[in-house]
Amino acid sequence: MIENVVKGDSVAPILDRALDAGEGLLRLSPNWVPRSFLHPGKRIKLHPEDWYAYGAHRGGIDERWFASTTDAANDGRVWYEGQSFGLFEGQHFLLKDAVAEAGERLIGKSMFSKYDRWPVYSKFFDNMGPIPHHFHQSAKDAALVGQEGKPESYYFPPQLNNVDNNFAYTFMGLTPDTTKAQLRKCLEDWHKGDNGVTYLSQAHRLKRGTGWLIPPGVLHAPGSLCTYEPQWGSDVFGMFQSLVEGREVPWSLLVKDMPEEKHQDLDFIIGQLDWEKNVDPNFKANNYLEPIADESRSGKGYTDRWIVYGTVDGAQMFSSKELTIEPGAKCTLKDPGASGWITMQGSGRMGKLKLQTPAMIRFGAETEDEVFISYEAATAGVEIENTGSEPLVGLRYFGPDVHSNLPAMGAFRQA
């Protein structure tokens, strides 16, 4: 559990000292999230004795969230579940409070004035098998229950995928010939066992080192590769599949983010889907991602690659890059916006902060793999050096409207 938490008016002094000492970089603590309805995939380096650290009744830990100011929507949650903490001089403070205190310095004037928070987060999602075919609400539909909508994205890092686990395929969308009547019948059959919703979909085999961009309102059933997921800062969803690997999915997980009076209105429930995107005959072409080298940010001994790019309904919601630095090399990382960084492989330093990829992490222990790169540091430039004998690899994700050179969907085909 997180201890020595600085709150309220006391955050400003420690935050100033931390930012000054780190030259705009903040060390973040591991942020573990359990899910009661899922089975941990056991690849995110948490110690085997700690998979159920929140208690067996809470479910296993199969997620680690990065640079998050978003609450995890879990029943029985601890008060900070999903929230990331900064760490300095043995004391913790919420990244959420830090942004509220020094938003312009941390995320930039434009983003802070528009959103009044860091509006995105990313996570490792690590499951033993597939999860239910589900969707995330649009901004309009989520607003009906006082929430925000959620587009999300996937990247399958090779470093965390030495094994496939049980089902390395993801059902996405619906087949182009699916009718709303067929989907309605699946909801009508909810309590009969397997409601058959995946018969109306197509599974795509997951490939390490690639990814997907999933707009809100689109059904998907993530498979069992460990996934890095930049996404909007919301935890809304609705499950459309009643039985997964023999485990019942309660109706409450379908309607948890819908108005109470609509919980049995099947037409309303189906109406929250973006139908055209679900039955898109060119679904893969419009949603699949492969890395693209950013030549303007690469040089001798280091390569910066786009791994999440493209827009959602024309809006740049989030993006992500993978930086690889060869042994003995270093570079100055200069970005137009803040980012959350997680070290995937190797060791080195970022500015004055040490980078070390852990082999195993105890619940509650601190690590040297996660950093929040403030707007101040990103725009000034941060020196990163590989001091180890293997490549130093880090993933970082950005908030909305940061890049002027963000590739479009499908750009990897022309790269």
Q: What is the DSSP string of 236-294?
A: --EE--SEETTEE--THHHHTTS-GGGTT-HHHHHHTS-HHHHT-TTHHHHHEE--EE-
Contacts of 19 (CB under 8 A, 6+ apart): 25, 26, 102, 105, 374, 376
Residues in the chain: 415
Q: Work out the average pLDDT over 386-411.
A: 98
pLDDT band at 273; cut points 50, 70, 90: very high
pLDDT for position 210 = 98
pLDDT confidence bin for 126, thresholds 50/70/90:
very high
In this predicted structure, the answer to whether residue 51 has a pLDDT above a threshold of 80 is: yes
Q: Tens digit of pLDDT for each residue in 189-225?
A: 999 999 999 999 999 999 999 999 999 999 999 999 9
- Is there a contact between 22 and 352 (Cβ–Cβ < 8 Å)? yes
C-alpha dihedral, 415 to 280 to 157 to 297, nearest 10°: 30
pLDDT at 1 over 80: no
Residue 8 has a pLDDT of 80
From 81, 80, 72, select the one nearest 150 (Cα to Cα).
Answer: 72
- Show the domain range for 150: 32-83+106-345+393-414
Cα torsion through 257, 260, 262, 265, rounded to 10: 100
Q: Indicate whether 127 belongs to any domain.
A: yes
pLDDT, residue 131, reads 95
Closest CA to 297 of 331, 329, 337, 327: 331
| Contact of 401 with 282, CB cutoff 8 Å | no
**Predicted confidence band at 4 (pLDDT cuts at 50, 70, 90)?**
confident
Looking at the domain assignment, is residue 2 inside a domain?
Answer: no
Strand ranges (DSSP E) for 133-277? 134-135, 152-155, 169-172, 202-205, 211-214, 220-221, 227-228, 231-232, 238-239, 243-244, 247-248
What CATH number has the domain bearing residue 405? 2.60.120.10
pLDDT category at 165 given cuts 50, 70, 90 is very high
Residue whose token pair is 């996660």: 370
**3 state SS of 73:** coil
Query: How far is it, in rounded angstroms, from Cα 371 to Cα 354?
Result: 10
Confidence class for position 295, pLDDT limits 50, 70, 90: very high
Would you say residue 95 lies in a domain?
Answer: no
Residues 6+ apart with CB under 8 A from 264: none
Which DSSP string do the residues of 92-119 spell out, in sequence order? EEEHHHHHHHHHHHHH-HHHHHHHSS--
Q: Is residue 22 a part of any domain in this protein?
A: no
Q: What is the DSSP letter of 31?
A: -
pLDDT tens figures, 359-394: 999 999 999 999 999 999 999 999 999 999 999 999
What pLDDT is attached to residue 3?
A: 76
Q: Which residues of 148-166 are buried (b: 16+ CB within 10 A; e: fewer)?
A: bbbbbbbbbbebbbeebbe
Give the predicted TM-score (pTM) of the model. 0.96
Phi, psi of 255 (to 5 degrees): -110, 10
- Residue 91 maps to a domain: no
Instruction: Give the mean pLDDT of the chain.
Output: 96
Residue 356 in any domain: the answer is: no
Domain assignment present for residue 23? The answer is no
Q: Let me know if 251 is exposed, middle or buried by CB neighbors in 10 A (0-12, 13-18, 19+).
A: middle
Domain count, the chain: 1
Distance, first Cα to last Cα, the chain: 46
Domain membership of residue 193 (yes or no) is yes
d(CA 61, CA 236): 19
- Between CA 46 and CA 314 the distance in angstroms is 38
